[in-house]
Structure 1
Amino acid sequence: MAKPGKTGFVRLFDAFGYSMKGFKAAWQNEAAFRQEAVLALVLIPLAFIIAENPLELAALVAGVLLVIITELLNSAIESVVDRTGHEHHELSGRAKDMGSAAVLISLLVCAVLWGAVLWRYV
């Protein structure tokens, strides 16, 4: 019989710890994540200043967080691919390129959201 897994607050506490390890690993190993995290530390407080209503605030913050989420997933994909070997393989390159494309799209979405809100200042 399979051993039951952790439940309740113990599982949540462990999951939080794993998430913090993920943030730490991304910060230590991924220059793009560091750049985007610093940008988020600037843009999220700025969103609270420039947003004129809760919907604008949500859009601005969500756009920034989408970039962070996508970068974390891209970094995870790259780590798994690199773990399997550093020799060139078409599927490995494809996976990395697709992850990079996802980051690019998230950056474009973020730029469009910020541009739409900042349009009134032009």
Structure 2
Amino acid sequence: MQNEEAGFLRSEWSKFTDRCRWSWAGWLIVWREESSVKQWVFANIISAGFALTLDLAPVERALIIALGVLILAAECFNTAIERCVDYTSPAHHPLAKAAKDCGSAAVAITAIAAGLAWLIILFG
């Protein structure tokens, strides 16, 4: 029974490390190929710096930092959508444009949410 459990744990650990490698590879693609991600990382560093130095409640800090991370996640999704669209439809097509525009809108919406959170936290 212990051999079975050890085998299961090794298998799960292997799956976990694979997922970590794939996620890191995806992040490197986004980092290298999308200048907007670098801009958002810079904005997040500034935002987190303010969140950590201003007199905010821990939950307010957590919200600001989490929303900044969600902007980066939205950028990753947007990049994935763009790559899939470019792969399946290299020609200009209204549906391809709509898919890319919707991905971009997702990034904008998360950024608006982060901005609104800052406004509400600072000005009530």
Q: 6-15 or 42-51, which moves further after superposition?
A: 42-51
Asked if 1:73 corresponds to 2:56, the answer is no
**TM-score, normalised relative to structure 1:** 0.86
CA apart distance, 1:57:
1.1
Query: Does the aligned pair in 1 maintain the 2:85–2:96 contact within 8 Å?
Result: yes
Q: 53-62 or 37-46, which moves further after superposition?
A: 37-46
Q: Secondary structure at the match of 1:7?
A: helix
Q: Secondary structure at the match of 1:65?
A: helix
Distance 2:50 2:20 in 1: 27
Asked if 1:116 corresponds to 2:120, the answer is yes
Cα shift readout 1:77-115 (whole Å, capped 9, x = no counterpart): 001111123211121111001111111111100100111
**TM-score, normalised relative to structure 2:** 0.84
Please identify which structure carries the higher helix content.
2
> Percent identity over the alignment?
30
Cα shift readout 1:35-68 (whole Å, capped 9, x = no counterpart): 1112222222332222521211121112211211
Matched positions, count: 115
Q: Which runs of 5+ in 2 are unaligned?
A: 1-9
**Which of 46, 55, 62 is the equivalent residue of 2:59?**
55
Runs of 4+ in structure 1 deviating by more than 6 angstroms, as ranges, are none
Q: Which runs of 5+ in 1 are unaligned?
A: 1-5
Cα distance, 1:79–1:51 mapped onto 2, change above 3 Å: farther
Distance 2:62 2:44 in 1: 14
Cα distance, 1:15–1:51 mapped onto 2, change above 3 Å: farther
1:11 — aligned with what? 15
Cα shift readout 1:3-56 (whole Å, capped 9, x = no counterpart): xxx931111111111111111100110011111112222222332222521211
